[in-house]
């Protein structure tokens, strides 16, 4: 009887003191493990995503002057200030084309136009950022040619430009002539940077090296030189191969620059060959110019270049004029343009482009920009197309008269007259020189910008000169690899489920 009363009393009060104590302890432990597991998961996720709660300090800016052979272009770039050493965020804010020739032929008007551009750029940057904004000038093939012809003249121009840039309210870095190899490498960096082949953000908002990412080749066509650059096999060696460390990864980059093979200088060489072969400079037939078109030029404009001095005829006089008459002859135009390339020096050599220059076989995708893009744009074959379409379009374009071309194309006459020549030039250097064919021509993509940022060597140049390309990948690696993070997430999730089940079972046993 006493035992029965005691049992009834225990039931009414919730159990014996020991049982009550045990239940409370189990509940407390379960709650502790539950909260601890949740806290650990939150801690891992917080570390993994690197999220910060401070306000952004704003934007930083950088200025690059691309002093090309035919003109100078000023680029203004910007990036979030807190990301300076964690790139992948640089974008183009403003672009200003300086009217007039390149700095190798700078005159009073050119100086005025340069100052107008710099005034525009200055207004686009907050005054508080002026002193910290780096400014660079890189002179390319036009100045390289002037340096070969007249070293003192080239140095005097650079000194004058440096003096002007130092007078601006920016952080002057340098103004120099860059090599063709540098120009090619910086173009390759720009292309792959804009394509996201160096960095990408993963699901945890961290910058990482893209898994399985492949680089894209770079094809740049300027006025006085042209550059090719692409990733070569690791075992490829030679003077045109450079091993570079970018974002913690090594690349074996082949890059070569051909001086005097830029679009404008190569055209002068075509005109020089025609004039040299002609006995009457009052009428020189030009198969690449359209029928009904004619132009008279000073002989000094053609033969005064470093690129045409080998073609100067014995009877040359700089005071003479030469008049060219268009013929609209696609077949002869192709032969003429091909004739300025030296392919004979590659006969019997494996992996050779032209002029006896070693080149590994091209592979993968290529971005063709600058003069390559504008030629494809004029023909209506920009983007990616087949070799057959490029050929047929080129043939059709070169067969048209001047009247037909002006009617069908909204292009200035200065450039329109030369697009048949430049189309044949592009075809010759790509197909006969670099060895693109029907199988891989579609890997060529003719573009001028990516994500509203111009494809130009200037961006890669600024990234490199500003030390915005870290040599190590420490900042880019996840604190915890994805696979380990997923495993830890699973383990702690399982612990939470087990703890909850234990808590539920304990409470059920207690209640019933």
Say what the pLDDT of residue 56 is. 46
For residue range 91-124, what is the model confidence (pLDDT) as tens digits? 899 999 999 999 999 999 999 999 999 999 999 9
Q: Give the pLDDT confidence of 356-399 residue by residue, as tens digits.
A: 999 999 999 999 999 999 999 999 999 999 999 999 999 999 99
Low-confidence ranges of the chain (pLDDT < 50): 1-14, 50-56, 84-88, 472-482
Please state, in angstroms and rounded to a whole number, the distance separating the CA atoms of residues 307 and 259. Answer: 8
Given 183, 265, 267, 311, which residue is catalytic?
A: 183
The candidate with the shortest Cα–Cα distance to 58, out of 41, 34, 79, 89, is 79
Cα torsion 104, 105, 110, 111 to 10°: value is: 60
Model pLDDT, residue 27: 64
Radius of gyration (Cα) for the chain, nearest Å?
Answer: 33
CA dihedral 354, 355, 359, 361 (to 10 degrees): 20
Q: What is the pLDDT of residues 483-496, one digit of tens each?
A: 555 565 666 666 66
Q: Can you list the alpha helix ranges (DSSP code H) found in 61-197? A: 108-123, 141-149, 151-166, 180-194
Quote the pLDDT of residue 122.
97
Domains of the chain, residue spans:
2-50+480-511, 59-208+456-476
pLDDT at 211: 61
Structure token pair of residue 57: 């300090």
Question: For residues 200 and 476, what is the distance between their CA atoms, to the nearest angstrom?
Answer: 10
Q: Which percentage of the chain shows pLDDT scores above 70?
A: 76
Q: What is the pLDDT of residue 180?
A: 96
Fold entry, domain 59-208+456-476: Nucleotidyltransferase; domain 5 (3.30.420)
pLDDT for position 286? 98
Distance CA 60, CA 349 (A): 50
Residue 183 designated active-site? yes
Q: What is the pLDDT of residues 152-202, one digit of tens each?
A: 999 999 999 999 999 999 999 999 999 999 999 999 999 999 998 987 665
């Amino acid at each position: 009887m006493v035992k029965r009363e005691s049992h009834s009393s225990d039931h009414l009060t919730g159990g014996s003191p020991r049982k009550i104590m045990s239940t409370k302890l189990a509940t407390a432990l379960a709650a502790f493990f539950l909260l601890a597991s949740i806290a650990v998961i939150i801690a891992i996720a917080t570390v993994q995503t690197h999220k910060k709660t401070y306000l952004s300090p704003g934007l930083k800016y950088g200025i690059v002057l691309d002093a090309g052979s035919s003109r100078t272009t000023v680029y203004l770039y910007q990036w979030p200030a807190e990301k300076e050493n964690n790139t992948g965020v640089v974008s183009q804010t403003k672009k200003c084309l300086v009217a007039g020739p390149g700095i190798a032929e700078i005159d009073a008007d050119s100086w005025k136009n340069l100052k107008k551009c710099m005034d525009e750029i200055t207004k686009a940057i907050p005054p508080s950022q002026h002193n910290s904004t780096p400014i660079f000038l890189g002179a390319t093939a036009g100045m390289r040619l002037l340096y070969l012809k007249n070293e003192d003249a080239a140095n005097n121009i650079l000194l004058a430009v440096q003096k002007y840039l130092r007078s601006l309210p920016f952080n002057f870095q340098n103004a120099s002539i860059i090599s063709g190899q540098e120009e090619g490498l910086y173009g390759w960096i720009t292309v792959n940077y804009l394509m996201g082949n160096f960095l990408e953000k993963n699901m945890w908002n961290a910058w990482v090296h893209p898994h399985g990412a492949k680089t894209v080749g770079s094809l740049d066509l300027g006025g006085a030189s042209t550059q090719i650059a692409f990733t070569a096999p690791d075992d490829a060696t030679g003077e045109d191969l450079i091993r570079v460390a970018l974002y913690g990864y090594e690349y074996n980059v082949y890059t070569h620059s051909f001086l005097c093979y830029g679009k404008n200088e190569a055209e002068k060489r075509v005109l020089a060959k025609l004039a040299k072969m002609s006995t009457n400079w009052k009428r020189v037939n030009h198969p690449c110019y359209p029928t009904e078109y004619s132009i008279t030029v000073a002989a000094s404009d053609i033969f005064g270049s470093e690129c045409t001095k080998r073609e100067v005829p014995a009877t040359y006089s700089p005071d003479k004029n030469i008049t060219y008459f268009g013929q609209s002859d696609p077949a002869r135009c192709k032969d003429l343009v091909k004739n300025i390339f030296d392919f004979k020096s590659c006969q019997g050599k494996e992996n050779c482009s032209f002029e006896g220059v070693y080149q590994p076989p091209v592979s993968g995708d290529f971005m063709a920009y600058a003069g390559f893009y504008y030629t494809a744009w004029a023909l209506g074959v920009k983007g990616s197309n087949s070799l057959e379409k490029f050929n047929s379009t080129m043939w059709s374009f070169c067969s048209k008269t001047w009247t037909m071309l002006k009617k069908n194309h909204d292009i200035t006459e200065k450039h329109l007259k030369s697009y048949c020549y430049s189309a044949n030039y592009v075809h010759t250097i790509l197909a006969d020189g670099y060895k693109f064919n029907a199988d891989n021509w579609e890997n060529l993509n003719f573009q001028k910008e990516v994500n509203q940022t111009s494809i130009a060597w200037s961006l890669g140049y600024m990234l490199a000169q500003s030390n915005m390309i870290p040599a190590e990948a420490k900042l880019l690696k996840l604190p915890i690899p994805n696979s380990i993070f997923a495993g830890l997430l699973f383990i702690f999730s399982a612990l939470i489920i087990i703890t909850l089940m234990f808590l539920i079972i304990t409470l059920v046993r207690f209640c019933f």
